[in-house]
Amino acid sequence: MEKFTTLSAVAAPFLQKNVDTDFIIRVERCTGTPKEQLGNYAFEMARFLPGGAENPEFVFNQPRYRGARIMVCGEFFGTGSSREMAVWAIAGMGVRCLIAPSYGQIFFSNCFQNGVLPITLPAATVEALAREAAAPEAKPFTVDLERQTINGSVRFEIGARRKKMLLEGLDEIGLTLALEPKIAAFQAADRKRRPWIYPA
């Protein structure tokens, strides 16, 4: 998994509330679509018009936000089903960081498994950041995970374990495998104490 340390990138404001995982990636795309292609279908219902042309009103289709790697989102982002493909689709678009007042619980956890940093901040702070991102003279945002800051002044909280996962580019399995020497040492000592536990 790609490490997340400091990200300086364009931030796209998308304050729609209750964006569920079906809106992020339609269920039809979740079977038969290779993981690396899911980004092509992220936000499909809003991103494209019925005929297949791009919807010029959708934020990621606007020239200034093409290639944005940060999203400033509305409340309850990623609610609905537990499909991990929603995070795969967002990551497939190149987005590495989400900023919102709240998230769907499973979606929030899935972000950390896939190298996406979901930052939770009070609604008023998120709205202020969205205004900043939408301003004509808007500059790229800088998210510093080590210092836990946005643009050097807005501080966010993150659990130590999840912070370590992102900084080191590890999912939960990788985090466990990093402890392999300690696990092996415990097993060797335990084998001496309780040899009957270990089959020959």
Tally of domains within the chain: 2
What is the SS3 assignment for the chain?
CCCCCEEEECEEEECCCCCEHHHHCCHHHHCCCCHHHHHHHCCHHHHECCCCCECCCCHHHCHHHCCCCEEEECCCECECCCCCHHHHHHHHCCCCEEEECCECHHHHHHHHHCCCEEEECCHHHHHHHHHHHHCCCCCCEEEECCCCEECCCEECCCCHHHHHHHHHCCCHHHHHHCCHHHHHHHHHHHHHHCHHHCCC
Judge if 176 and 153 occupy the same domain: no
The 10s digit of each residue's pLDDT in 78-127 is 999 889 999 999 999 999 999 999 999 999 999 999 999 999 999 999 99
Q: pTM value?
A: 0.88
> Does any domain span residue 35?
yes
> Does any domain span residue 1?
no
Judge if 64 and 78 occupy the same domain: yes
Q: Is the pLDDT of residue 174 over 90?
A: no
Q: With bands split at pLDDT 50, 70 and 90, how would you rate the model's confidence at 170? A: confident
Judge if 161 and 199 occupy the same domain: no
The 10s digit of each residue's pLDDT in 133-149 is 999 999 999 999 999 99
Judge if 90 and 48 occupy the same domain: yes
Residue 20 domain boundaries: 6-169
> Does any domain span residue 129?
yes
> Does any domain span residue 114?
yes
